[in-house]
Amino acid sequence: MMALGAILVLFTACSDSSKNFTVKGVVSGADGQTMFLENVGVSSVKIADSIKLSAAGKFTFKQPRPPYPDFYRLRLNNQWINFSVDSTETVSFSADAGTFATSYMVEGSENSKAIKQITLAQLDANQAIGRLRKDYDSKLISDTTYREQVLEAVEAYKEVARTYIYSAPMSTAAYYALFQQIDGLYFFNLYDKDDSKAYGAVATSYDFNYPENVRAKHLHNLALQSIKVIRQQRALDTESVNVQEINYLDITLPNLREEVVKLSEVAENKTVLVNFTTYQNEWSPALNMNFAELYEKYNNKGFVIYQISLDTDKHFWKNVASKLPWTCVHDPESAYSQIAALYNVKQLPALFLINKKGEIVKRIEDLRALDEDIRKAL
C-alpha cells in the first residue's frame, strides 16, 4: 500500500507539473524591489504574479501553461525582459538590477535566447536613430545623410530579424521579430512588398501549426490586408500621382466628437498642412508647439492643419487633441493604417502641404523650412 501511495503521489506531481510552467532565477542588486511577471497579449499586458526581492535576489513563479505558445515578460521598475513559453517547463534567468533588460542570461528556452538577440538589435537601431536625430537637430548632418543612415539602422535590425523569421517562421522568436517597433511603427512595413513576405511567412506557419490561436488569426488578417493594399497601390499608380502632385488622396476619419471629417472639406479654398503623427512619441509636444506658432501666425490668412493620429492609445490621443485648435482626427488602424500607406508614410512625423488649388505642393522633409514653405504656399 505504501509503494502504491508513493506511485500515486509521484504521478500526481508529474501531472501537475505538466499543467504549469516555472520561471525562476536570481536578480542581484534589487533588494526590496518588486518584480512582476506579466503576460503580453496581442492588445494588452496583464500582471500574472509579483514578488518582493530579497538581498539574495532569488525568485520563482509558477503559472498555468498557455494553450498555445505565448509571450511573457519580467518587469523591474521601467525595465523588461521579454521571453516566450512554448513546450518548455522551466525558464531560468540571472540578471542585475542595473542592466536588467540587456545583460541578463536565460536558460531553458532557445526561443527566449533568440528574443534576447532580437531585443538587442532593436535597441541598437533605436539608439543609432536617436543619435542621428540629435545630429540632425544640431545641423551636423544633412537631410539626405540623415534619411540614408536612418534607413541603414532600420535595415540592420531587419537583417537580424529575417534570420529568425525565415529560418523558423513558426517560432515565437519569428513572431516577436516581426512586431518590434520604432517610433510607434513596426520595423517591417505591412504595406511594403518585400516586408509583406515576412508577414506572409509567419502567418502561413501560424495558420498551419496553431489555427485556433488568436495570434494566428491576427496574423492571417494582417497578411490579407497587406496583400489587398499592395494591390491597390499598384492599381492607383501612386508614382504618377506624386509626379503630377495633384488630386491628393482624400482622407475621411473621426474627430474627438466621433464626427467624420473629410480632408477635402477642411482644405477647401485653404492652404492645409497634413500631418501623420503619434502623440505618444517624445518629440510630439515640441512638434505641436511649433505647429501652434505657425497656426496662430497664418490661420487668418487661410492656413489650416489636418492632423492624423496613429496612436494606439485612443484615450491618450483624446487628452492631447482636446487642447489643440486645429482639426485632429484618429485612425483606428494605427500602425496598420491603409491611409498612411497610400501616402507612402515610412516614418513619423510625416507632413504634406496642400495649396488652395488642391495640389500637394510639397512633402515636408525639413521642419526648419516649414514657415517659409507655408508662406510660399499661401
The CATH number assigned to the domain holding 294 equals 3.40.30.10
- Interval 271-307: pLDDT, tens: 999 999 988 888 889 999 999 999 999 999 999 999 9
Closest CA to 253 of 346, 355, 332: 332
The domain in which residue 353 lies consists of 245-377
Contact between residue 73 and residue 80 where contact means Cβ atoms under 8 Å apart:
yes
Closest CA to 275 of 192, 202, 367: 367
Closest CA to 274 of 322, 233, 329: 329
Separation between Cα atoms, residue 227 and residue 197, nearest integer Å: 10
Same-domain status, 301 and 322: yes
Contact between residue 83 and residue 15 where contact means Cβ atoms under 8 Å apart:
no
Which pLDDT score, from 0 to 100, does residue 166 have? 94
Which pLDDT score, from 0 to 100, does residue 229 have? 58
Domain count, the chain: 3
Same-domain status, 258 and 296: yes
Closest CA to 143 of 374, 368, 365: 365
**Does residue 10 lie in a domain region?**
no
Where the chain has pLDDT below 70, the residues are 1-18, 143, 183-185, 191, 226, 228-247, 336
Which pLDDT score, from 0 to 100, does residue 108 have? 95
Positive/negative CA dihedral, 293, 296, 301, 306: positive
Same-domain status, 232 and 303: no
Who's near 375: CB < 8 A, 6+ residues apart? 298
Same-domain status, 336 and 293: yes
**Does residue 147 lie in a domain region?**
yes
Give the DSSP H/E element, type plus range, for residue 220: helix 214-236
Same-domain status, 104 and 173: no
Give the DSSP H/E element, type plus range, for residue 47: strand 45-52
User: Where residue 98 sits, what CATH number does that domain have?
Assistant: 2.60.40.180
**Does residue 249 lie in a domain region?**
yes
Who's near 127: CB < 8 A, 6+ residues apart? none
Q: What is the DSSP letter of 250?
A: P
Contact between residue 100 and residue 81 where contact means Cβ atoms under 8 Å apart:
yes
Boundary residue ending a domain (236, 253, 284): 236
Same-domain status, 194 and 255: no
| 3-class secondary structure, 320 | helix
**Does residue 136 lie in a domain region?**
no
- Interval 347-356: pLDDT, tens: 889 999 998 8
Q: Write down the number of H helices and E strands in the chain.
A: 12, 17
Provide the β-strand partners of residue 38: 47, 73
Same-domain status, 251 and 367: yes
Separation between Cα atoms, residue 47 and residue 75, nearest integer Å: 10
**Does residue 118 lie in a domain region?**
no
Separation between Cα atoms, residue 354 and residue 368, nearest integer Å: 18
Which pLDDT score, from 0 to 100, does residue 11 have? 38
Q: Report strand pairing: 181-182 vs 105-107.
A: unpaired
Q: Would you call 123 exposed, middle or buried from its count of C-beta atoms within 10 A (0-12, 13-18, 19+)? A: middle
Q: Report strand pairing: 260-262 vs 20-28.
A: unpaired
Contact between residue 185 and residue 348 where contact means Cβ atoms under 8 Å apart:
yes
Same-domain status, 228 and 257: no
